[in-house]
Structure 1
Amino acid sequence: MSTREMKCVIRIKGLQVPNVPSGLIVGDGAGGNLVGGILPGASNTIAHNFGCGVVVDLGTANALLSNRIFSNIGPGIDLGKDFGPTLNDPGDTDEGANHLQNFPCVLRFPENCRMLIWTRIRMLMAVI
């Protein structure tokens, strides 16, 4: 599956109506999916959902790239369908949805800068 320029927002008479439970669910062990992308126009808007923005249930190698995910009641991205953050761990050798990849930690936000943020993600790199 690949998505581009998708809007997971429902509007009725100008009001935003949330999706229930989440905006987008990658489930049943699905793998190798692309949600968004790096080319112009490839991003998606996933917002105003009763649950999470995106849930990756079981599969691996699901890429969530350059999406606008905001204003959801739950987390923007949830790995493992537990409706909460998956804690970061050293080495990141977990089994589960997208191998329970660690989320980025903001290291520094330079003064007088509104766009540049340094982050780090600790994860195990593998060549398959």
Structure 2
Amino acid sequence: MTHRITRPTRPAQPAACPCGLPESYEACCGRFHSGSVAAPTAEALMRSRYCAFVKGDAGYLLRTWHPRTRPARLELDPGMRWTGLEILGASDGSAFHSTGTVEFRASYRGGSLHERSRFERVDGAWVYVDGEFPA
């Protein structure tokens, strides 16, 4: 007779959100994508927008783009594979500000994108205005 020793199983932990924070997608950026709550800071909006690129959610990206700079439509490359987000710095962009800047590096298979993004509040909600690509 053979005895097999098994380890007790633990409930599976939900994967961390693609934006890099340890919460699950549903508890982190998913709640912004669903529209149940708005991103409270410029950095939270930037993280949720990165996550929308990962998930292919063009509708969310357009909804969170400033009306004066928003394109008429947005086509995402279905072959693009985003692999990580690193926040390099942020200024302003809290509940006490009307503008904010977030500098980040978003990695994808084969390279990375370094951007300094500008955000503003429109009707109380944070929106992406534009970005520049530091040398």
TM bin, normalised by shorter chain, reads under 0.3
TM-score normalized with structure 2 length: 0.26
Higher alpha-carbon Rg:
2
TM-score normalized with structure 1 length: 0.27
